[in-house]
Amino acid sequence: MSKPIVTSDRAELQIVEIDAWWREHQDKAPDLFEEELAEVSRLISSAPGAGKRVPHPTEDVRRVMMRKTRHHVYYVEREQHVFVVAVWGAIKGSEPDLEGREESG
């Protein structure tokens, strides 16, 4: 059974910014980021354990690679949903700040 996806405010902002950049700079595949994010969302909704664990002191944070666009989706499985914490460029060479995120609703 699939779980709904809930996105943090920070992750939502990252998604909007990455998608805008992608559409402006990738004229041969302007929808690729959006399409790949949808694929990853379906995956983690139906198989939340699919992602690789990321070291975190208090939660079981996981990430899934968006191979074509080279971004990671960081998330935490909750009882009723999957909470997306961040969407981060894999080529940045660092991990996003996973602290201080708020889950509303």
Give per-residue pLDDT as tens, 38-76.
Answer: 999 999 999 999 999 998 877 889 999 999 999 999 999
pLDDT in tens, 20-36: 999 999 999 999 999 99
Question: What pairing do the DSSP bridges indicate for beta strands 52-54 and 5-7?
Answer: unpaired
Quote the pTM value. 0.87
Question: 67-102 pLDDT, tens per residue?
Answer: 999 999 999 999 999 999 999 887 766 566 666 555
Q: Which overall architecture, per CATH, does domain 5-91 show?
A: 2-Layer Sandwich (3.30)
Which residue has tokens 């949808």? Answer: 38
Residue 105: pLDDT above 50?
Answer: no
Q: Are 95 and 86 in contact (CB under 8 A)?
A: no
Q: Are 21 and 34 in contact (CB under 8 A)?
A: no
The structural domains of the chain, with segments of one domain joined by +, span 5-91
Rounded distance between C-alpha atoms, residue 13 and residue 87, angstroms:
9
Rounded Cα gap, residues 78 and 16, in angstroms: 24
